[in-house]
Amino acid sequence: MGGDGERTVLTLKAKIYPDSEQERAIAACIEGYRRAYNYMVLYCSFSLRDFGRLPSFAELCRFSTLIWKRLPSIRGMYNNSMHDAARRALTAYRACIERGRGRPRFKSVRAARSYGYPKPQDFRLERKGGRIRLRLGKVGRVRGSRQEPLPGDPRTCTVVRKDMGTHYDYYACVTFDMGAGYGRGEEWPERDVSSPVGIDLGVSHVAAFSDGAVYDNPKGFSRDLKRFERLHRRLSETLPGTRAYDKARSRLAHAYERLTNKRKQMVEQVSHDAVFLHGGIVMEDLSVQQLRSISMSRRMSRLYADASLGMIRARIADKAQSAGRSVVLVDPRGTSQLCSRCGLYVEKGLSVRRHECPRCGLRIDRDVNAAMNILERGSARDPGPVRGPNRPAGRHGPADPAQKAAGRLPDLYHKIQELELKITRGNTRRRSYSARPMTTI
């Protein structure tokens, strides 16, 4: 948990049930949002090429006003969502520059799945008859699921449309500002929750705690691999555009959704027990991406995917910050080889799953032994400020001052043909959307 000056932001994800007219309004908003995002990505490309810098957020907002007035094809979306598209385009371009990957991809019709309301005035969260109701701009009042809204102040809302083959599922992700000093905890009077815990993450056991608790890998994808192969094979055997093709896509989408829900359930269980049943958390300071890069087989890569180690680390950090717990990261070298009782170095390969010390006679699971060593290393350190293990500082920080300098809008109107060729190319594969030509300016 941060200091009194830090503010906590939580997100509530609720399923919504729009009617047919509201579904058409959401589809128009998503399509207009996609076109606006693509135009802004090209705007950033031209600005970087002609002026050597990315445009500021204010410049992109002024450009969004111009294209809103000039292009009828994007007027089906909510007007203030243009600012959210500008923010996404600028964030995506900065991330690509940091990673050295050129520019972001244009969003196709199939890839466009969401749009946002960047201000609390653009939507309203209500509760009626035990259900959440959302009043969305240009959509209307949409019925939601039976969930309790968070006690904070709503700030932004993102509407997500998920293609399930034969139908769409819709979700609303509302962010709440919980204010400074907010903390969320749970009371467990029957057990002592003040002692810290060391956590060892792995593939065979997703997480092993220093108190002996072990969470096995669910191996959802590895166990259902033949089932997924059969569903993919049935999908490839059907003709696209037919009812059988939509049914095959629906079965495959539901199978992947069940797999995702199983992984999320495991992640929430591990993170909950790590944070709310202990007083502090000590983990290894390692990169999950580097672990996956050294996997020795495709089977091990699938096990890494089933383990969801990156999600576990992120959820533990988020819940620890919300509950006011400290997170300490230690050096992972030698934690599996050293004996946690006497400190003897006992070398063993990955196939050896138990630690047996020839000096003191300790015989326990190797992951639990590693968790004990992690806790011992962390107990000698001062808990620093809580931060996400896989979230480098400065990624979402302030932009470069040179990018904030005001500058004139690049003259893009002479590139109208280039815009149309790059944005509308390949966007009529599945849906019946037709790219309207830009009006002459």
Going by C-alpha positions, the residue among 301, 220, 212 that lies closest to residue 259 is 220
Strand partners, 326: 280
Rg (CA), the chain: 25
Distance in angstroms (rounded) separating the CA atoms of residues 340 and 357: 9
- Whether residue 338 contacts residue 345, with contact meaning beta carbons closer than 8 Å, is answered with yes
Query: Encoding tokens for residue 213?
Result: 């608790």
- Whether residue 367 contacts residue 205, with contact meaning beta carbons closer than 8 Å, is answered with yes
Residue 240 vs residues 227, 237, 257: alpha-carbon distances, Å? 21, 9, 22
Strand partners, 160: 114, 171
Distance in angstroms (rounded) separating the CA atoms of residues 316 and 117: 29
Query: Encoding tokens for residue 296?
Result: 């020795």
Residue 50 vs residues 14, 45, 88, 366, 411: alpha-carbon distances, Å? 43, 9, 22, 58, 10
What sign does the dihedral 54-57-59-60 (CA atoms) show?
positive
What sign does the dihedral 126-131-135-141 (CA atoms) show?
negative
Q: Side chain identity at 376, as an amino acid letter?
A: E
- Whether residue 2 contacts residue 386, with contact meaning beta carbons closer than 8 Å, is answered with yes
Per-residue confidence of the chain (441 residues) as pLDDT tens digits?
Answer: 344 446 778 888 999 999 999 999 999 999 999 999 999 999 999 999 999 899 999 999 999 999 988 888 888 899 899 999 999 999 999 999 998 888 899 999 989 999 999 999 999 988 877 788 899 999 999 999 888 778 888 999 999 999 988 889 999 999 998 877 666 666 554 455 678 899 998 888 889 998 888 998 888 888 888 999 999 999 999 999 899 999 999 999 999 999 999 999 999 999 999 988 888 899 888 887 777 777 777 888 888 888 888 899 999 998 888 788 888 888 888 888 888 888 888 888 878 888 888 888 888 888 898 999 998 888 866 333 333 333 333 323 333 333 333 333 334 333 434 544 444 444 433 333 233 333 332
Going by C-alpha positions, the residue among 228, 198, 202 that lies closest to residue 307 is 202
Q: Side chain identity at 420, as an amino acid letter?
A: E
Domain residue spans of the chain: 7-182+411-423, 197-379
